[in-house]
Structure 1
Amino acid sequence: MSSTEVAVIIPEEKPKVTTGGTSGVKSFLSGGFGGMCLVAAGHPLDLLKVRMQTSTQYKSTIDCFRKTLAENGIRGMYRGMAAPLIGATPVFAICFWGYDQGQKIMRHVYNLSPTDKLSTNQILFAGGFSAIPTTAIMAPMERIKCTLQVGAANSTGVAYKGPADAAMGIIRTGGFRSLFKGTCATLLRDVPGSVAYFGAYELIKKALTSQSAGQGSISPLAIVTAGGLAGMANWSVAIPPDVLKSRLQTAPEGKYTGVRQVFIEMMRTEGPGALFRGMGPAMLRAFPANAACFLGVELSLQFMNKLW
């Protein structure tokens, strides 16, 4: 009888110790490293995106690039980078941790083991879920970044010197809650964007891996391609709410009551086309930045898997 009981217990416990799943700690650390790679690769184009979204003085991406370069030089292309770089580790760490938790929720709900593959709908749910915890720290970081990128000034007319100065200026002008201006707009952008982001990455990576490296490993080319295309899929649905978010976060204190008012005024004064302003630099940035992000995530995961 005892030998029979042992035979029943062992198969039930094996899936719990398999390496098929990723631990929350590894997801957190690899996501943070991937975020740093993303910021380093894509910040100049992100700056052009925000400037085009918040001003009508630029005719095109090239025009925005020329004027920004002429005005501020090469260093000016990295204005506002400190804020997202400092925030990249926790933001993307939480994003990829949230994605991992979303997958675990699906496995729990559908009684799946770590080795069972998730369906497309389950992957999409996990992607959308990742945006919820991320928004808590993404919104204030985006507020500071956008304020610095558009060259906003404080009440004395002196441009902010850096992220800390900008944060203090925002708090002085509108209070601590002002740091979280645009939180709803950020969530409105990131939930559908993350659905497209992680969904596209997993599906494209799976297709490319099955054709080249097989099930056991993932080629760097497959990671880069899937990551870059995932970034483009993200921005293809996230640009309109991102425009609204940028307008809201860089507007003078008290100008808008919320994202709805931004939308109404934009439609009245500029028309639907304004919702896609900045699409050019966003899409140009999306491929290299997110290719670097996912490559950083996958390589750091492989490295940690070898250590423990």
Structure 2
Amino acid sequence: MAAATADHKANPVKSFIAGGFGGICSVLTGYPLDTIKVRLQTMPLPAAGQPPKYKGIIDCTVKTFSTEGVRGFYRGISAPLVGVTPIYAVDFAVYAAGKRLFQTDEHVKLTYTQIFIAGVGAGICSALVTVPTDRIKVLLQTQPVTGPVMYNGMLDTAIKLYRQGGLRSLFKGTCACVLRDSPTGVYFVVYEGLQDLARRRSATGQITPTSTIFAGGTAGIAFWSLAVPFDVLKSRLQSAPEGTYTHGIRSVFRELMATEGPKALYRGVLPILIRAFPSTAAVFVGVELANDVLNA
């Protein structure tokens, strides 16, 4: 995927396939830290004089493992695994289509402004596909381990949400998802820029697996550094009982500022940033491998 120094016009169909494969690689790599992140973001405020449910990333990891074992880190993974193919496929396909609009022939070198615009469009479109699986994932990750089980797997959760509030319930948090994924333009600019630099420094002018891992991981950190506050609001909104936040993300933001202050917007940031490098590197490694096969 060499957008900034394109030798071929972007192909949305091939990008659709490659993006889906890259997304699967990402989920398998980063899901345990995503579970920790969601649990830190959604834990309730402790009662006066009581310690918080989790003191931080290490405490959350230890408690999850001690009470649920390894399986606890993968609760709800079926939702993103099923949904990840269309989500990342749409992301990379729309990104390729956006680049193609700027490419008048096979050898046009895109500017980083054009890459940014194509990336923002890709992020918004993929966010619309992400919402239902993200909503299901958050509910499965945060439901109590003890006591009666409210949701029994992905399909059961989807059916119950639909019965509770129709499609509107399944798509709860759409605005928050769009806001969170809008920085995808930065994500692609950082990736393409670092890969351009790697090509210039390479004797062969080609990217390598090492440069892909570094560029992809760094792009992930850049993206999540901007997206974390919106992700916190999204997780709070999607995990809350129906009717808790009348005005959606605005109500979540007002309550968070009034009860916990601005620092709460970065709750869970450590597992997010730790996860961002390997999981995003895995996306681009998967995409580049798939592109190699498709272009062979």
2:143 counterpart (124, 141, 151): 151
**Structure 1 counterpart of 2:172, which letter?**
K
8 Å CA contact 2:10, 2:99 repeated in 1:
no
> In structure 1, what is the Cα distance between the partners aligned to 2:70 and 2:203?
40
8 Å CA contact 1:143, 1:180 repeated in 2:
yes
TM-score by length of 1: 0.88
Q: Deviations over 1:229-259 (max 9, x none)?
A: 1111110000000000000000000111210
> For residue 232 of structure 2, what is the aligned residue in structure 1?
243
Q: Spell out the pairing of 1:81-160 with structure 2 (5 A cutoff).
A: 81-107=77-103, 112-151=104-143, 157-160=148-151
> In structure 2, what is the Cα distance between the partners aligned to 1:214 and 1:116?
20
Q: Which piece of structure 1 moves more, 51-60 or 259-268? A: 51-60
Q: Deviations over 1:155-176 (max 9, x none)?
A: x942312100111121222222
Q: Spell out the pairing of 1:252-291 with structure 2 (5 A cutoff).
A: 252-257=241-246, 258-291=248-281
How many residues align? The count is: 281
> For residue 173 of structure 1, what is the aligned residue in structure 2?
164
> In structure 2, what is the Cα distance between the partners aligned to 1:285 and 1:279?
10
Q: By how many angstroms is 1:214 displaced?
A: 4.1
8 Å CA contact 1:152, 1:250 repeated in 2:
no
2:212 counterpart (215, 218, 223): 223
> In structure 1, what is the Cα distance between the partners aligned to 2:76 and 2:287?
24
> For residue 299 of structure 1, what is the aligned residue in structure 2?
289
Query: Cα RMSD (Å) of the superposition?
Result: 1.6
> For residue 24 of structure 1, what is the aligned residue in structure 2?
12
Quick check: 1:208 aligned with 2:204?
Answer: no
> In structure 1, what is the Cα distance between the partners aligned to 2:20 and 2:179?
23
Structure 2, unpaired ranges of 5+: 1-5, 45-52
> In structure 2, what is the Cα distance between the partners aligned to 1:292 and 1:46?
15
**Identity of paired residues, percent?**
48
Q: Which piece of structure 1 moves more, 295-304 or 143-152? A: 143-152
- Other structure's SS at 2:69 match: helix
> For residue 39 of structure 2, what is the aligned residue in structure 1?
51
> In structure 1, what is the Cα distance between the partners aligned to 2:174 and 2:27?
21
Quick check: 1:41 aligned with 2:29?
Answer: yes
Q: Deviations over 1:162-194 (max 9, x none)?
A: 1001111212222221000000000011012x0
Q: By how many angstroms is 1:47 displaced?
A: 0.4
**Structure 1 counterpart of 2:240, which letter?**
A
Q: By how many angstroms is 1:26 displaced?
A: 0.4
8 Å CA contact 2:9, 2:106 repeated in 1:
yes
Q: By how many angstroms is 1:205 displaced?
A: 1.3
**Structure 1 counterpart of 2:251, which letter?**
Q
> In structure 1, what is the Cα distance between the partners aligned to 2:162 and 2:295?
43
Q: Spell out the pairing of 1:63-74 with structure 2 (5 A cutoff).
A: 63-74=59-70
**Structure 1 counterpart of 2:188, which letter?**
F
- Other structure's SS at 2:80 match: helix
> For residue 47 of structure 2, what is the aligned residue in structure 1?
none
8 Å CA contact 2:177, 2:234 repeated in 1:
yes
Moved over 4 A (4+): none
Q: By how many angstroms is 1:270 displaced?
A: 0.4
Q: By how many angstroms is 1:136 displaced?
A: 2.2
> In structure 2, what is the Cα distance between the partners aligned to 1:228 and 1:261?
33
> In structure 1, what is the Cα distance between the partners aligned to 2:84 and 2:211?
24
